[in-house]
Amino acid sequence: MSLPSTPGRRIFSLGWRHLVYAAIAFVFVLPLWWAIVSSLRPNAEVFADIFPFTAKALLPSPVTFEAYIGIFERGFGAIIANTMLVALVTMAAGLVVNGAAGFAFAMFDFKGKRIVLTAIIISFMLPFEAIALPLYTVTRQLGWLDTVAALVVPSIANGLAVFLFYQFFSQVPRDYAEAARLDGVGWLDILLRIYVPLSLPTCISAALLLFIFQWEAFLWPLLAMPSQQFKVIQVGMAAFQQQYQTIWNQLFAVSVITALIPIALLLPLQRYYVQGLAGAGIKG
């Protein structure tokens, strides 16, 4: 890109570059775009213009909101509210619990710290799927099957979130805490008044992590809620797919809503999310 070049070659290579980027972006955007387009069509028109394929297939020709009205009539409003509740409670509790642990690991030396920290890091490397089946047994022993607690409580403590906070708090110069200690400020005040405000970017990236984790949860809510009285969105969507295979436009409408809520959170906050996770990978 920094080779000496004539203006003509420059424009040519700039054109190539945009072509490559646009082609890749197209592949990433196409499924969601087609889902949005199809969710705005009447059901009979979803597969129009595909055989033979014309560009019209990628535009909603007769626009209608009947699919969106339809899914709310089927109770998807409640499912979205359920998922929001689960995700937001997990997020709030998770910030406190994991933030506190990260702070303790970063600020204090104590016996067995390395071992405990390593155990936490390994616990986040091991995906939730690995323990979902045995976790079902634990939840049954606790008598939590079919309760909201079964969805929320096991997901609050999160190794990756602990690690993000640990990493951030370790970078804060220790002088801050030392100086405050000399002035006789208590640890809790130091945490709440100095460290919490400083850690806002980490809080945002951990919050996104916890929220998206719950929003995307599928296997666990499927197992933990055998009666499916309280449905969350991924499970509701999968059930809808199995039950109403051919109501394409509504299926697309559900998918679009399911995708757009986290995307709406992620795009304005992407800088924090990217920086938070990118930092975790280096040290991990």
Partner 1 sequence: MTRSRSPVLLIAALLAPALIGLVVFRLYPIALAVSDSFFNVLRGQPVFVGLDNYLSLLADSTFWKSMQVTFWFNLLINPIQIALALGLALLYVQQFRGVTLYRILFLIPIGVSLPTAVIIWRIMLSQDGLVNGVLGIAGIPAQPWLTSEALALYSIIAIATWKGISYWMIFIIGGLQTIAPEIYDAARLDGVRPWQRLVFITIPLLRPTLLFVLVADVSINFLLFAPIFMLTQGGPADSTNVLMYEAYKSGFIFGDMGRAMAIIVVVVAILLVIVGLQFKLLAGREARP
Query: Applying CB under 8 A, which of residues 2, 6, 227, 243 lies at the interface with partner 1?
Result: 2
- State the virtual CA torsion across 57, 58, 62, 67 in degrees, nearest 10: 100
* 237 in contact with partner 1 (CB under 8 A): yes
* 44 in contact with partner 1 (CB under 8 A): no
Site size toward partner 1 (CB under 8 A) is 97
Q: Are the C-beta atoms of residues 234 and 217 closer than 8 Å to each other?
A: yes
> ∠ at Cα 45 (39, 48), nearest 5°?
110
Q: Which listed range, 62-70, 71-79, 153-161, 193-201, lies at the site for partner 1 (CB under 8 A)?
A: 153-161
Query: Applying CB under 8 A, which of residues 63, 133, 179, 200 lies at the interface with partner 1?
Result: 133
Query: Applying CB under 8 A, which of residues 11, 12, 15, 17 lies at the interface with partner 1?
Result: 17
Near partner 1 in 85-124, by CB under 8 A: 96-98, 100-101, 103-105, 108-110, 116, 119-120, 123
Identify the CA nearest to 128 among candidates 84, 93, 158: 158
Q: Rounded to an integer, what distance in angstroms lies between the CA atom of residue 49 and that of residue 130?
A: 43
* 135 in contact with partner 1 (CB under 8 A): yes
Q: Which listed range, 4-12, 60-68, 72-80, 256-264, lies at the site for partner 1 (CB under 8 A)?
A: 256-264
Tell me the closest approach of the beta carbon of residue 63 to partner 1, in angstroms. 19
* 149 in contact with partner 1 (CB under 8 A): no
- Identity of the residue, 85 or 265, whose beta carbon is nearer to partner 1 in the bound complex: 265
* 151 in contact with partner 1 (CB under 8 A): no
* 216 in contact with partner 1 (CB under 8 A): yes
Identify the CA nearest to 280 among candidates 153, 136, 170: 170
Neighbours of 244 (CB within 10 A): 15
* 45 in contact with partner 1 (CB under 8 A): no
Q: Which listed range, 67-75, 84-92, 192-200, 230-238, lies at the site for partner 1 (CB under 8 A)?
A: 230-238
* 129 in contact with partner 1 (CB under 8 A): yes
Q: State the burial class of residue 201 (Cβ atoms within 10 Å of its Cβ: 0-12, 13-18, 19+).
A: middle
Near partner 1 in 265-284, by CB under 8 A: 265-267, 270, 273-275, 277-282, 284
Tell me the closest approach of the beta carbon of residue 171 to partner 1, in angstroms. 14
- Identity of the residue, 133 or 200, whose beta carbon is nearer to partner 1 in the bound complex: 133
* 61 in contact with partner 1 (CB under 8 A): no
